[in-house]
Structure 1
């Protein structure tokens, strides 16, 4: 009475077993397996973001940066067909966002699986905010951790590897924080906390150090490629002569007659002047770049 039922159950069990085996060999499964074993292709808009990606992905992928020379201007960059093809074929694309490298938007929308805009997606910034996010001490650690999670989605078996790489990279930035803390202690003895800048490149760092930009209208005019009002320039000259600011910051990659004249006034009146750059200098990594600038500031404030 039960023998036929046993046979039918046996056949059903066999069919289910075959289905499971075949399911394991399905195209979807093969795709996932292939995806998790193939090197992760990463393209970043700038070399300092590329540095973070390289540190985290390690030997499990490749990274290329589009803006990779100090002389290249991220604002005015025009992608070539080869660059467009490279971005289109990437698994992960990293851009600064907040209106800084807008040329990446059209390229990244072409076909990559993941497009990360550091400012918009990771830092809660919006278009129009100060785009020089790499001068914010928290940016690189946040990006490193975000990339570790993103890479782990593509290669789950290497999750711990990516996480460890991110932690190692973040630890390598500790020297930057050491310099920041030194200047913070120095600032406690400085009565004047206001600072003049040629443009908003170093603003995040200035705020982190406990100082405040006192010539917002001037820096925004320069940032928007317009001429600062004569009244604004006159006020800055007076401020430098009367030592109303702790120091003057200028972007040494930009040659401006107006800024040069203000620098002359600063130097004649013994106001410390700090040169900074918007792009990564040749033969330096991110930690060296930041550390050198903070050390220079500590030196001129001493």
Structure 2
């Protein structure tokens, strides 16, 4: 019996069998981004083993390069979750190169919410995205490990209930600030800004930054004018991609007493997805109140 157990574990390690089929082994999951990984952990608890590829909030996700270690993790994953919509194009290449694992399931957030190449890829800032992703992940877990269905169902209900705090905060902000003009260095926060009902300014500038191209002189001038004349109530910037142009706009905003808040593309250490989103929304509320006090 001991010999059989050793062979079973060896086969699982090599990816020759589905890890979920062994009751003593957790379901191996790879998430391209750590906020999706956090959601899987909340839904799967001790029954999942999650590896997140993008996990450092101090790194610029746009500069990420896949490594052999990343490819190995994908090779042995039973479930893979990634963003799509060209946010993590390296995932398609890695999955194409690791076709040996035919039993794996792939969940792509963009496909679940009908987003495609060319759309704003920062889907996790849309309040509708995570409930949809969570339901898809939970459905997979129940199908793969039906003996723990009651636990998975309870965890999904708890997660969805926790998201209500975000919806409530968005609704409150919308009731006070719908139509208020705001600006940003990138469209990272775009979906959330739309959910609140902001008037989003300088979108051409933001798209250029997202696509890593130079904004036009006219777009730069318009951005600076909005800040200097306090036509916008807050400047939202991506603290993981603070190049010279972002630092320039932050300096102008500070001189003009336009509040600024940072948002990130990666979940900060020690935070759940819900805590992260609420923290940023609370910072936004403080910044908007700060503009009014000037």
| Same-fold call, TM cutoff 0.5 | yes
Determine the C-alpha separation between the residues in 1 that align with 2:20 and 2:34.
29
Between Structure 1 and Structure 2, whose CA radius of gyration is higher? 1
- Which residue of the partner structure matches residue 116 of structure 1? 107
Please list every run of 5 or more consecutive structure 2 residues that lacks an aligned counterpart in the other structure. Answer: 1-16, 290-294
What is the TM-score with the length of structure 2 in the denominator? 0.84
The 4+ residue runs of structure 1 with deviation greater than 6 A are 31-34
Checking the alignment, whether the CA contact within 8 Å between 2:20 and 2:26 is kept in structure 1 is no
Matched, 1:296 2:283: yes
8 Å CA contact 1:36, 1:156 repeated in 2: no
* Structure 1 residues not aligned, in runs of 5+: 1-30
Q: Does 1:187 align with 2:177?
A: yes
Aligned-partner Cα distance in 2 for 1:176–1:195: 20
Aligned to 1:156: 146
Matched residue, 2:257 = 270
How far 1:81 moved relative to its partner? 1.7
Provide closer, same or farther for how the CA distance between residues 269 and 77 of structure 1 changes in structure 2, counting only shifts above 3 A: closer
Matched, 1:256 2:246: no
Deviation readout 1:225-264 (Å, 9 max, x if unpaired): 1221111111122222333222211112222222222222
Please point out which of 121, 136, 140 is paired with 1:146.
136
Alpha-carbon contact 1:145-1:163 (below 8 Å) kept: no
Task: Give distance in 2, aligned partners of 1:229 and 1:139.
Answer: 32
> Counterparts of 1:242 and 1:100 in 2: how far apart (Å)?
34
Asked if the contact 2:109/2:133 (under 8 Å) is kept, the reply is yes
Separation in 2 of the partners of 1:61 and 1:34?
9
Structure scoring higher RCO (CA < 8 A, sep ≥ 6) equals 2
- Aligned residue pairs total 268
Question: What's the CA shift string for 1:171-204, capped at 9, x where partnerless?
Answer: 223322232122112215xxx6222110111111
Cα distance in 2 between the residues matched to 1:171 and 1:238: 42
Normalised by the length of structure 1, the TM-score is 0.82
Tell me the equivalent position of 1:27.
none
